[in-house]
Structure formats: structure tokens, C-alpha cells
Structure 1
């Protein structure tokens, strides 16, 4: 899991416009359902994204030298990934969301923070504030910084258990056993689905690639 215009998409009870790359602005968020196997399935089973959609990854739009990049925590570290390569993570629609107008003044500082984190290791443990970043954690800290160190998005107790049970997902048991680390059940954290439901964001639609 290392690593959101005229055509419309029909979802249950929802119609979303599709967004062309030329419409993307710095600071927009792109959310992805990566279908990366049991770990993504486990994440999606305990998180609920915008309009009930499943999201296991996200990044933030950044234009540099006329090229469109996605700033993301993925792979081995925080990095800038060209949009075309970022889009290869999934064959499913990618949701684009934008900060509401009253918050857009935070974007320059949030991007500045994010760019300074390039090369910071990927957070394999999914533990907040441990010197590494997973995808939504990077976004959380970027806007925490931009907002004068006052929380902008929310942290919630993380769960790795199957819904309605006291049993951990087998995928997480195997994952943390391989790391040699305890499962960080109940520690504060965030996820792409939770951020996609923030009342500070507005929906643009699903990304339409050439």
C-alpha cells in the first residue's frame, strides 16, 4: 500500500461531473481507491469516504515548471509524482476535492511545508508524529502548519479490528508481525476517507484523464 465537464458519472444517489487536468489548481486533493490487496481492503472496511466511496490513498496537486505533479507520501518517502504516473495506481475513478474559498489562503503555506518534507521516509507503522509520513498524515500536518499549528483536519482513534468484533484483521496481524511492531490500535491518526468527508472541502468531481 505504499504509495484523490460534460461527461457525468452515475453513483448511487449521486451524479458527479468529471474534471479535466487543466482545471486542477494547486492545493486540490485527489483521492484514490487503489485496490492494493488485503491491506487496502482492511482500510476500506473501517473507513467511510465521501458519499460512501472507498479511498485508500490521497495526494495534493502542485504545478511546477508547467508540469502537474501530485505531492504524496508513498513508496519509500514523500515525493512529487507526475499526474500520469499517480493515476496508474488505480483503474477506478479518482475524486477531486478543493478547499472552500475561505480556506484557500492556507494553501501556499501548506504546499511550502509539504515540499520541505520531500525525502522524509514513508511511515510504514502508520503512527502519527513519529518522524515519517503516510499519505493523509502528510496532508494533516501540512494544514496544521499552515493554520498556525491549530488542527485543521481531524485526528481519530485508529482501529485495525474487523467491524463489530474484537478481532484484528489477519492482514494487519501479519503486517505488524513482519515489522516487529505492535498494532497501534486506538492511537490518534487520520485516513483519506475521513479527510474526504471534511466540511472544509467541496467536491469538484472525478478526474477525467486523456
Structure 2
């Protein structure tokens, strides 16, 4: 009887530590922050061109101003970002190479982390994100399954866990209540109507999600 109890206790302990190890995310110290797989990296919005236009119609808080977001993955001590890039479509890149390009124009990169109750969704999200790599960038921002934009990529990665939700998109300048002139011209050039009210998401909306908490800014020397 004692042997049976001892064996059962050992199996329980092994199962407990196995569960911890499989749920734990890989971590790495980078630019003054400890990052982990599943963190989201937000890129500060610029004031002009497409970046400024995105931020003008989506910014929710004065201190939160983002125009791009990607999902971090740490593997064999290398930090990657999985994201839908306007330049390259949906891609997995070494974070250093992305920041060496972006840092020249954009000095603000902010890391957000999923809350404790949402951490279990990360492995599935990474797997899902990797199935979307190779798809082109969605320049219309109208949701479809063949092309993706940055926040759409992240929302889909975590869709099984229902962490993020789609909302009616707006392209109106909140100061005037009229369609932002950039977007009016943008969609005219695409030969389509402004998709006002159609479902979508954006980096500022994701950053405001209740399942995310800000970890800090990446330091640029």
C-alpha cells in the first residue's frame, strides 16, 4: 500500500512539474526588458503618410499611439517577431533586423504581455501564426482569408482563445466627424468605397485590451 501511495505521489509531482514546464514561455533579456514568447510588440505611430492616417482615426488615449503590432517568439535564444509587414507580408523575422530598420525612423517600441489567465493561449497562438506566414499584406483592410494586416494577424493568432474582438472600423477624423482626407483619397485610388463600419481591428484597440498589460519600452541608445 505504501509503495502504491509513493508511486502515485511521484507521478503527481512529475505531472505537476511537466505541466509547469510546458506552460512556461521562453524568456530572454533584451534592451533592458525581459521578453517572453507571446509578448506583443507595438510600434509608435508617426505623424504622416499611412502611419499618421491610421493613428488619427484609431487613437484612443493620448499616451497610446501605435500603428503596427507583432507577436514575439523566442527560440534557441533568438527573438523573432511574427507580423504582417507592409513591405514583406506575413513574415517571421529576427527582431534585431526589424528594429535596426524601424529604429532609424521610429524610436518608440512598447512591449505588452498577456495577463496570467490568458498565458495558456500562447502556444496555440504561435502555431496559428506560423500557418499564416507567407500571405501578402492586406492593403484594403477589408477582412479576407488570403491577405492580412498587422492587427488582423495578431487577432487571428489568438482567435481560438477569443482574447480580441472585431469592431466596426471607422475612417472618420474624430475632430471633424468626416472621412479623413487621406483615407478618402486612399480608397479612391483603390477603386473602392471607404469600408466604414465593416469589421476590423487596429493596434490602438489591441493595446487597450483588458487581457494585456504594459511591460515597458525597449531602450534605444
With structure 1 as the length reference, what TM-score do the two structures score? 0.81
Matched, 1:102 2:113: no
Instruction: Give the SS at the match of 2:195.
Output: coil
Q: Which runs of 5+ in 1 are unaligned?
A: 1-18
1:60-99 C-alpha deviation (Å, 9 max, x unpaired): 1112343211101012410012212322324322110100
Q: Partners of 2:45 and 2:56 in 1: how far apart?
A: 14
Structure 1 partner of 2:159:
144
Alignment of 1:57-206 (within 5 A): 57-74=68-85, 75-87=87-99, 88-89=101-102, 90-145=105-160, 147=161, 151-206=162-217
Match of 1:11 in 2: none
1:21 CA drift (Å): 6.5
Distance 1:167 1:123 in 2: 24
Which string of whole-angstrom CA distances, capped at 9 and with x for unpartnered residues, describes residues 128-169 of structure 1? 234211000011111113x2xxx3212111111111434222
- The count of aligned residue pairs is 189
Measured on the aligned residues, the alpha-carbon RMSD in Å equals 2.2
Taking a change above 3 Å as real, the CA distance of residues 24 and 136 of structure 1, as seen in their structure-2 partners, is same
8 Å CA contact 1:49–1:55 kept in 2: the answer is no
Name the TM-score, length of structure 2 as normaliser.
Answer: 0.78
Quick check: which one's helix share is greater? 2
Q: Separation in 2 of the partners of 1:27 and 1:49?
A: 24
Structure 2: gaps spanning 5 or more residues: 1-29
- From the CA coordinates, give the structure whose radius of gyration is larger: 2
**Alpha-carbon distance in 2 for matches of 1:158, 1:43:** 11
**Structure with bigger RCO (C-alpha 8 Å, 6+ apart):** 1
The residue aligned with 2:35 is: 24
